[in-house]
Amino acid sequence: MTTVESAPALVYLDSPFINFRDFDFGEGSHGYRWIDAKRFQLSPEVRDDRDVLAALIAHPQFRDTYDGAGVQDWPRHGQWWLDHIAPDAYATVDAETAVDVIHSWAYQHGDVPESLASRLRQEICTPIRKATSRHLLGQLPEDAFHDYGPVHIDYHELVLIDRPAATLTLLVAADD
Q: What is the largest CA-CA distance in the chain?
A: 69
Determine the length of the chain.
176
Query: Who's near 138: CB < 8 A, 6+ residues apart?
Result: 89, 90, 91
Which pLDDT value is given to residue 4?
Answer: 46
Rounded Cα gap, residues 69 and 52, in angstroms? 26
Is pLDDT of 131 > 60?
yes
Using CA atoms, how far residue 10 sits from 53, 64, 65, 91, in Å, is 10, 16, 20, 20
What confidence category does residue 52 fall into, taking pLDDT thresholds of 50, 70 and 90? very high
> What was the pLDDT predicted at 102?
98
Query: 73 or 68: which carries more pLDDT confidence?
Result: 73
pLDDT score recorded for residue 145: 76
- Please give the model's pTM, rounded to 2 decimal places: 0.92
Strands 17-19 and 33-42: antiparallel
Among 67-71, 116-120, 137-141, the range of highest mean pLDDT: 116-120
- What is the CATH code for 10-66+76-175? 3.40.1000.50
